[in-house]
Amino acid sequence: MSEKKLFLYDVSIFRKKLLTRTWSVILLFILFVIYNSLQIPKEARGQFFIIFVPLLAFFFWFLRRNYLKQIEILSSGKIELEGGMLKQFDSSGNCATIRVKDLEKITLDKFRGYDRIVLETKEKIHPIVNLKNQDELRLVLEKITGIKSVYDLTDDRLWNLKTPIYFIPSIIILIFLYIPILREKVPFISSEFLGLFFNVNIIIYLLYSPEKENHIDNRYSLKRRLIFISLIVFFFQVYTQLDKVGWFKN
């Protein structure tokens, strides 16, 4: 195959989804901080905000930086197919080359809401996300290799219709808290206990919720960032409760 084919990324869809996701994460974090601030004593709220307002500012800066960087990377990137070689260029001009005949598997799936084609060789897995004309690339690769694409229909969304099921324990605690008859039977339940329990519920859910591998770098996944934030809030909740009962007093 000598004719060069060029495949570009769908920047407009990426920008729209990334912007929506970024603001959603910021809003959730703000609501999360506000909610947890109401679960601690008034005298400790100043210390709480001293910790979390700078964290929010850093989080906002990080997300903005990440947003601009990803837009730049996607706008400058491209895929070239020529002479049986697939070349993936990044924003720095670096090129990852795959010999099409070395492909052993072609998988089509969804990754964080974007169409993705995953190319596997013996040595490495090459994910390509959000191409404008992914179907054209798939057809060309299938024709050259004789490999039929496999469709992975696994839902990779972190939050879905089944999510509330995992928070039934927190919902039960909430019911006990706001129904006086039930609350009298379990006197240790309080708003502080609900906040702590709900946070633990979130951490457990995030730890065991599935997340598709991106095949590049999993260190900065959304799931890990949310777990990190939840753990910070959890340790602060524990600290304030221990301080409230005089644990740290001489």
Kindly state the tokens that stand for 32: 């999360």
The pLDDT value recorded for residue 201 is 92
CA–CA dist 250, 107 (Å, integer): 62
pLDDT band at 120, cuts 50/70/90?
very high
Each residue's pLDDT tens digit, 132-154: 889 999 999 999 999 999 998 87
Long-range contacts of 165-170 (CB under 8 A, 24+ apart): 166/201, 166/205, 166/209, 167/198, 167/201, 167/205, 169/197, 169/201, 170/194, 170/197, 170/198, 170/201
| 127 phi/psi in degrees, rounded to 5 | -85, 135
Each residue's pLDDT tens digit, 67-114: 888 888 888 889 999 888 999 887 777 888 899 989 999 999 988 778
User: By the 8 A CB rule, do 196 and 170 touch?
Assistant: no
Mean residue pLDDT across the chain: 83
Kindly give the pairing relationship between strand 78-82 and strand 5-8.
antiparallel
Flag whether pLDDT at 29 surpasses 70: yes
The pLDDT value recorded for residue 149 is 93
Distances (CA, A) of 154 to 113, 117, 137, 204, 212: 12, 14, 22, 21, 9
The pLDDT value recorded for residue 136 is 92
Q: Which of the two residues, 126 and 211, has the higher pLDDT score?
A: 126
The pLDDT value recorded for residue 216 is 67
The pLDDT value recorded for residue 23 is 83
The pLDDT value recorded for residue 52 is 79
Each residue's pLDDT tens digit, 193-247: 888 899 999 999 988 877 777 766 655 567 787 888 888 888 888 877 777 767 7
The pLDDT value recorded for residue 67 is 82
Give the H or E element holding residue 102.
Answer: none
Kindly state the tokens that stand for 45: 């709220």
CA–CA dist 192, 177 (Å, integer): 11
The pLDDT value recorded for residue 167 is 92
Flag whether pLDDT at 54 surpasses 60: yes
Average pLDDT rounded to a whole number, residues 15-41: 79
Instruction: Name residue 118's beta-bridge partners.
Output: 107, 127
The pLDDT value recorded for residue 35 is 74
Domains of the chain and CATH, by start: 1-156 (2.30.29.30)
Sheet containing strand 5-8, strands side by side:
5-8, 78-82, 85-89, 95-99
Q: Which of the two residues, 158 and 34, has the higher pLDDT score?
A: 34
Flag whether pLDDT at 168 surpasses 90: yes
The pLDDT value recorded for residue 248 is 65
CA–CA dist 230, 199 (Å, integer): 7
